[in-house]
Amino acid sequence: MNLDLGMGSNWSSSLLKKIIHRDVKSSNILLTERFKAKVANFRCARLGDVETTDVVTKVQGTLGYLDPEYMRTHQLTPKIDVHSFGVLIIEILTGRRPIESKRSPKEVVTIRWVSFLFFSSFVHMHH
Protein backbone atom coordinates (compact mmCIF):
# COMPACT_ATOMS: atom_id res chain seq x y z
CA MET A 1 0.00 0.00 0.00
CA ASN A 2 1.37 3.41 -0.96
CA LEU A 3 0.70 6.29 1.39
CA ASP A 4 0.85 9.85 0.09
CA LEU A 5 0.62 13.13 1.91
CA GLY A 6 -2.04 15.06 0.02
CA MET A 7 -0.62 18.46 0.99
CA GLY A 8 -0.70 20.41 -2.24
CA SER A 9 2.12 22.30 -3.88
CA ASN A 10 2.71 24.92 -1.15
CA TRP A 11 4.68 22.48 0.99
CA SER A 12 8.34 21.95 0.24
CA SER A 13 9.32 18.34 -0.36
CA SER A 14 12.69 19.04 1.24
CA LEU A 15 11.44 19.86 4.74
CA LEU A 16 14.08 19.36 7.40
CA LYS A 17 11.44 18.77 10.06
CA LYS A 18 8.95 15.95 10.31
CA ILE A 19 5.25 16.61 9.81
CA ILE A 20 3.34 15.30 12.80
CA HIS A 21 -0.26 14.96 11.68
CA ARG A 22 -1.86 14.52 15.15
CA ASP A 23 -5.20 13.35 13.70
CA VAL A 24 -4.56 10.11 11.78
CA LYS A 25 -7.93 8.35 11.58
CA SER A 26 -10.04 6.50 9.04
CA SER A 27 -11.89 9.58 7.80
CA ASN A 28 -8.56 11.33 7.11
CA ILE A 29 -7.28 8.56 4.82
CA LEU A 30 -8.55 8.99 1.28
CA LEU A 31 -8.28 6.42 -1.52
CA THR A 32 -7.65 7.25 -5.16
CA GLU A 33 -9.38 5.37 -7.96
CA ARG A 34 -6.36 3.02 -7.94
CA PHE A 35 -6.70 2.47 -4.17
CA LYS A 36 -3.63 4.52 -3.33
CA ALA A 37 -4.01 5.88 0.21
CA LYS A 38 -3.55 9.61 0.79
CA VAL A 39 -3.40 11.30 4.17
CA ALA A 40 -5.69 14.34 4.28
CA ASN A 41 -6.81 17.09 6.67
CA PHE A 42 -3.71 18.75 8.05
CA ARG A 43 -5.51 21.25 10.30
CA CYS A 44 -3.94 19.76 13.45
CA ALA A 45 -0.52 19.10 11.87
CA ARG A 46 2.66 20.59 13.28
CA LEU A 47 6.24 20.55 12.16
CA GLY A 48 8.41 18.80 14.70
CA ASP A 49 12.06 17.96 15.01
CA VAL A 50 12.37 14.18 14.93
CA GLU A 51 15.12 14.19 17.55
CA THR A 52 13.52 16.69 19.93
CA THR A 53 10.79 15.70 22.37
CA ASP A 54 10.72 18.88 24.45
CA VAL A 55 8.01 20.60 22.37
CA VAL A 56 4.85 20.83 24.47
CA THR A 57 1.56 21.62 22.72
CA LYS A 58 -2.16 21.72 23.26
CA VAL A 59 -3.49 18.19 22.74
CA GLN A 60 -5.34 17.93 19.43
CA GLY A 61 -6.79 14.97 17.60
CA THR A 62 -9.71 12.59 17.83
CA LEU A 63 -10.59 10.70 20.99
CA GLY A 64 -9.94 7.01 20.53
CA TYR A 65 -6.99 7.60 18.22
CA LEU A 66 -4.97 9.80 20.61
CA ASP A 67 -1.77 8.42 22.08
CA PRO A 68 -2.23 8.13 25.88
CA GLU A 69 1.33 9.36 26.49
CA TYR A 70 0.67 12.45 24.35
CA MET A 71 -2.55 13.11 26.29
CA ARG A 72 -0.63 12.85 29.56
CA THR A 73 2.54 14.80 28.65
CA HIS A 74 1.41 17.05 25.75
CA GLN A 75 4.83 16.36 24.17
CA LEU A 76 4.96 16.51 20.39
CA THR A 77 6.71 13.40 19.02
CA PRO A 78 6.32 11.20 15.92
CA LYS A 79 5.01 8.46 18.27
CA ILE A 80 1.67 10.30 18.26
CA ASP A 81 1.00 9.32 14.65
CA VAL A 82 2.42 5.81 15.10
CA HIS A 83 -0.10 5.13 17.87
CA SER A 84 -2.98 6.58 15.82
CA PHE A 85 -1.97 4.48 12.81
CA GLY A 86 -1.98 1.39 15.04
CA VAL A 87 -5.51 2.23 16.19
CA LEU A 88 -6.49 2.63 12.52
CA ILE A 89 -5.09 -0.84 11.73
CA ILE A 90 -7.05 -2.33 14.67
CA GLU A 91 -10.16 -0.55 13.36
CA ILE A 92 -9.66 -2.11 9.92
CA LEU A 93 -8.97 -5.61 11.30
CA THR A 94 -11.90 -5.66 13.75
CA GLY A 95 -14.46 -3.60 11.82
CA ARG A 96 -15.07 -1.59 14.99
CA ARG A 97 -14.76 2.13 15.71
CA PRO A 98 -12.07 3.08 18.28
CA ILE A 99 -14.76 3.95 20.82
CA GLU A 100 -18.11 2.17 20.85
CA SER A 101 -20.10 3.60 23.73
CA LYS A 102 -23.02 1.16 23.41
CA ARG A 103 -20.85 -1.85 24.20
CA SER A 104 -20.22 -3.35 27.62
CA PRO A 105 -17.72 -1.38 29.75
CA LYS A 106 -14.87 -3.80 28.96
CA GLU A 107 -15.51 -3.41 25.21
CA VAL A 108 -16.05 0.37 24.87
CA VAL A 109 -12.45 1.21 23.95
CA THR A 110 -11.60 -1.12 21.07
CA ILE A 111 -7.82 -1.09 21.58
CA ARG A 112 -8.27 -2.12 25.25
CA TRP A 113 -10.71 -4.84 24.21
CA VAL A 114 -8.24 -6.20 21.62
CA SER A 115 -5.40 -6.04 24.17
CA PHE A 116 -7.52 -7.98 26.67
CA LEU A 117 -8.36 -10.64 24.06
CA PHE A 118 -4.74 -10.92 22.96
CA PHE A 119 -3.26 -11.19 26.45
CA SER A 120 -5.95 -13.54 27.75
CA SER A 121 -5.40 -15.89 24.78
CA PHE A 122 -1.61 -15.57 25.30
CA VAL A 123 -1.98 -16.62 28.96
CA HIS A 124 -4.19 -19.59 27.98
CA MET A 125 -1.65 -20.73 25.40
CA HIS A 126 1.16 -20.81 27.97
CA HIS A 127 -0.68 -22.68 30.72
Please give the positions annotated as active site: 23
Q: Which residues contact 57 (CB under 8 A, 6 or more apart)?
A: 46, 74, 75, 76
What is the 3-class SS of the chain, one letter each residue? CCEEECCCCCCCCCCCCEEECCCCCHHHEEECCCCCEEECCCCCCEEECCCCCCCECCCCCCCCCCCHHHHHHCECCCHHHHHHHHHHHHHHHHCCCCECCCCCHHHCEHHHHHHHHHHHHHHHHCC
What is the amino acid identity at position 15? L
